[in-house]
Amino acid sequence: MRIITVNLNGIRSAANKGFFQWLPTQEADIVCMQELKAQAADITREIVSPDGYHGHFHCAEKKGYSGVGTYSRCKPDNVISGLGIAEIDAEGRYLRLDFGRVSVISVYFPSGSSGEHRQAAKFFFLERFFPMLKQLADCGREIILCGDWNIAHKEIDLKNWRSNQKNSGFLPEERTWLTDVFHELGFVDVFRQINPEPEQYTWWSNRGQAWAKNVGWRIDYQIATPGIAAKAKAVSIYKTERFSDHSPLIIDYDYSL
């Protein structure tokens, strides 16, 4: 089972950069996407079901903003859009697909980098999402949460960690929250389980020469319950082509839907 997660920074922009030509070459079973920046009216036939995939989307109310989506080879048994929290669901941040005993979730955490009001919205999200993660951890299903969590967990997960300790995405409170997801709730950072190496990033600022110099952040994750996490066999960050300011995170699991 191959799962890809990628923040597209606009699904139509990614389409213009070759995303839908690349996608069939990956033979993925499930693709989780974030930051669609599209409304339902913008979802063309090519976007709805490329290469025979079943597409599902949870768009933000605001035009050109946020939104998550999924593609799956198998038709899901059940689809859940949103968390049931109006302020969060209006921004299109959560989409869950159930396949048998496995649930795959595309989630897009708020970024707090644009100002104090958005950092407050991020903390609002974290506070309310944690008990929902606990429910998922305790529900008896295997869970894989894919997406842009907008938090670099440890110093190894961003190039310039010293100068970013007071910046959104690497604040002590955010990092502690993510540590609790792993240590208290028992979820597993699947990529780090297999690849402990430094300089493994999934996002690069458009400022300066961040991409060219690999001055990046690892903020895109597949975070899973221990059972399915143990079945992960290979991980990679695809950087040959660029569809976005993020790179796709690809993980293969010894599991069949």
User: Catalytic residues, which ones?
Assistant: 148
**Could you tell me if residue 128 is left (phi over 0), alpha (psi between -120 and 50 degrees) or otherwise beta?**
alpha
Residue 9 C-alpha from the chain's centroid: 12
How far, in Å, CA of 256 to CA of 253, rounded?
Answer: 8
Nearest to 122 by CA among 153, 88, 82: 88
Q: To 5 degrees, how large is the angle CA 103–CA 138–CA 186?
A: 90
How far, in Å, CA of 228 to CA of 221, rounded?
Answer: 15
Contact 131, 208 (CB under 8 A): no
How far, in Å, CA of 192 to CA of 155, rounded?
Answer: 13
